[in-house]
Structure 1
């Protein structure tokens, strides 16, 4: 096993004028990024958590790694940040002038401080800084407060050509030679991120349905770096995860829409995806502790769902006629818990849908992106939960795919019944591999589906009003009385 390589870090990155020189540029640039979580609220200032010169700023091509808190007014809603200010990971390239090929990556030209007269840009667009990150992982380097770790059983070659993936949402990714993909987390919180924790646990359990991490990037920072009480001593900050790139694999969402548009049957693929999901759940149950959820825990769960419904009705008044029927799903769950029924909870994916699944050319499914819902606190994302939550997310995804194709005006004769066939096939496949059909617990499954549909209504009303009919169709179905 190779030893970690420790590099000294130049002191210019700790200059008190560094953040001041970047402040006006970041105020304009940061809110425009797709992964910025605080849209709609002004940035009132920045504070520096960590600064590391990965490549010296005076070398002609500098690479500056920053962890920066973006201060914004807090909004007293459930969607407010879990921390006093969100912390973001930034990788900034520094050059005297920017080549034309990097023009889209421009952030700006500082007029003061240690970067005055230089050009600052998003470094992930530039192959040289991207190469440096992979080399640091190969060497298990320590750069200031940054620590690069790797699985020594996996070879990381040095001749892999990097390219930036442009279709990211809440994070950023680099693909290296169709061999590895490096996912760089943008919104940083202290603690073990499930996007590293769960794939590592699944690799130890021998589960081949999830690519095993080949490397990861951590930051060793004081416990209170993000604010008082926002970390425990020894908590790591997970910054990135390197995993094998599944070359030739198809995104489940795109694949489903293509097959449906052609009138092709997708139930076989859905059944296979159900088996893959059950295999991952079974492996997680072996690798990490399970817990039993009784009356107290399930009543808290049902109350949370009811509170989200109440808030959603205030946001989207068109939900009001359906609220009693939707609430009955949560009341039924609380009633079952009150009668003494218990449920097993374990670690799950937490944000499962077709877009989180990849199918290889051979037809084998893999699950990716175990980060969970980034808007939720990390501690909540790491809680054991019933596997029905993942299943419900996938069932909603099949339903969403079918209705979204209708919403876009596509005329497909085979659309009718497509979602129902896929949902049934998925549950059957799950039962084949997991030993239990999710449909045998209809009350729990309906509650999770209803909660997810309510979330979708609020999201679409805020961000894509033209898509609102998609989740509203599910709301109308889920609000109907359950057949006796």
Structure 2
């Protein structure tokens, strides 16, 4: 009996890192579209499939390769054997086949249209179609292909109808001459529910850059290795100068976003409603994580101060999921990545106006994680806690100083709002760590001291 492509995909998709419905049975998988981009052997076929699990239906993007025989180098991404156009063919994940992914480069360069897919090149750019791709393996929710040392193509696996915020933001900021985004080169889209929907984005690959999180951890390790009495500024690998530059870059990006997109304000009544949402999240978190109960008064007091604000709060487009893993240090400056917004949130929410202080709060929490996460299970955790506090305080202050100097000042009611945003972020972290990494629970709990 011949296995259909639909049946193959239903058995294969649950084992993929980017599959969002792990741990729940699939009720149904439907193949929504199959678009042939390259015929023959090997063939390249673009698939959109919908997976139903209970009341939730999620759409996924799968580039399919089809060959009569799969070479050894591709057997680790084999899906299975099925009938295709009257022939018995082996289906596999084509993202790992450089001989097929070159078609994506060619498509963007020539602005190919194979309905319902559209390939686009950013005006004023040219694409070197000779580059061969390699899949990055670190990502969880998407698949990224690096072409030589020139381009990185982010292939969105979970598809939501509409324009992806990252494409919208990076094209606007690059067009305005921002030094803090990687240059965009092209994108792939389709139409879903009557909306142009982003499937993939290609940008400059920052081959000579270092990730902010990695740089920060190196600094923390260096500090932990020094004598207890040595000030953090005298330890090798001090990060404060980079934290200051990162604060400056963050303020500049916020100013660029405010110039490229609409802005607005939150009135005091909405601030009070927001505060109530913060309180309800805290109440639920205390029920789920009893260890938070003894610290909750700190957050309640901060939320009370926020509710008492009688001034408007400016809002604009923001990053939305800002932390040290979202920034890269190039030889010239800091570059900000992944303007998708918070994963799992509706597209409209990720594109909504918000306070730039939400990004600031996210980065401040990231400094706390960088300082403390190495202490989980560390035999000298108790004696190193003071060093962790010192590192976090020094780099938080440097970041805020850089942010303020570049025009992102935090004054009066701004500080009240920032404190509330930090603590509601820490409440989220408490629940996350209790569910997933209990040994890390002391990190977010330290925010309430």
**TM-score, with length taken from structure 1:** 0.84
Offset at residue 34 of structure 1 (A): 2.1
Q: Tell me, yes or no, if structure 1 residue 62 matches structure 2 residue 43.
A: yes
Bigger shift: residues 184-193 or 113-122: 113-122
Counterparts in 2 of 1:122-137, with a 5 A limit?
122-137=93-108
Q: Is the 8 A contact 1:23 1:45 kept in 2?
A: no
Offset at residue 365 of structure 1 (A): 0.4
Q: Tell me, yes or no, if structure 1 residue 141 matches structure 2 residue 124.
A: no
1:189 corresponds to which residue? 160
Q: Tell me, yes or no, if structure 1 residue 209 matches structure 2 residue 192.
A: no
Q: Tell me, yes or no, if structure 1 residue 108 matches structure 2 residue 80.
A: yes
2:14 corresponds to which residue? 31
State the SS of the aligned residue for 1:434: coil
State the SS of the aligned residue for 2:208: coil
1:281 corresponds to which residue? 254
- The CA deviation string for residues 132-172 of structure 1, in whole angstroms up to 9 with x for no partner, is 11111111001120001111312211211211111112211
- The CA deviation string for residues 254-289 of structure 1, in whole angstroms up to 9 with x for no partner, is 111012212321100000000000000000101111
Q: Is the 8 A contact 1:391 1:438 kept in 2?
A: no
- The CA deviation string for residues 364-408 of structure 1, in whole angstroms up to 9 with x for no partner, is 100010001121001011111011100000000000011101115
Aligned partners of 1:67 and 1:445: how far apart in 2? 41
- The CA deviation string for residues 166-185 of structure 1, in whole angstroms up to 9 with x for no partner, is 11122111111111111111
Aligned partners of 2:409 and 2:150: how far apart in 1? 36
State the SS of the aligned residue for 2:92: strand
- In the alignment, structure 2 segments of 5+ residues that lack a partner are 224-236
**Dislocated runs of 4+, deviation >4 Å:** 112-116, 410-414
2:267 corresponds to which residue? 294
Q: Is the 8 A contact 1:109 1:116 kept in 2?
A: no
- In the alignment, structure 1 segments of 5+ residues that lack a partner are 1-17, 75-83, 224-232, 478-484
Q: Is the 8 A contact 1:438 1:445 kept in 2?
A: no
Offset at residue 297 of structure 1 (A): 2.1
Bigger shift: residues 35-44 or 376-385: 35-44
State the SS of the aligned residue for 2:308: helix
2:209 corresponds to which residue? 249
2:338 corresponds to which residue? 369
Q: Is the 8 A contact 1:31 1:39 kept in 2?
A: yes
Residue 451 to residue 334, structure 1, CA distance change in 2 (3 Å): same
Aligned partners of 2:426 and 2:85: how far apart in 1? 50
Aligned partners of 2:422 and 2:251: how far apart in 1? 18
Residue 410 to residue 275, structure 1, CA distance change in 2 (3 Å): farther
Offset at residue 294 of structure 1 (A): 0.5
Offset at residue 60 of structure 1 (A): 1.4
Counterparts in 2 of 1:225-264, with a 5 A limit?
233=194, 235-263=195-223, 264=237
Residue 140 to residue 410, structure 1, CA distance change in 2 (3 Å): farther
- The CA deviation string for residues 321-359 of structure 1, in whole angstroms up to 9 with x for no partner, is 3333323322321221xxx21100000000000000000
State the SS of the aligned residue for 1:366: strand
Aligned partners of 2:439 and 2:7: how far apart in 1? 35
Residue 440 to residue 302, structure 1, CA distance change in 2 (3 Å): closer
Residue 417 to residue 175, structure 1, CA distance change in 2 (3 Å): same
2:299 corresponds to which residue? 326
Number of residues of Structure 1 aligned to a counterpart in Structure 2 = 431
Aligned partners of 1:358 and 1:115: how far apart in 2? 49
2:319 corresponds to which residue? 349
1:73 corresponds to which residue? 54
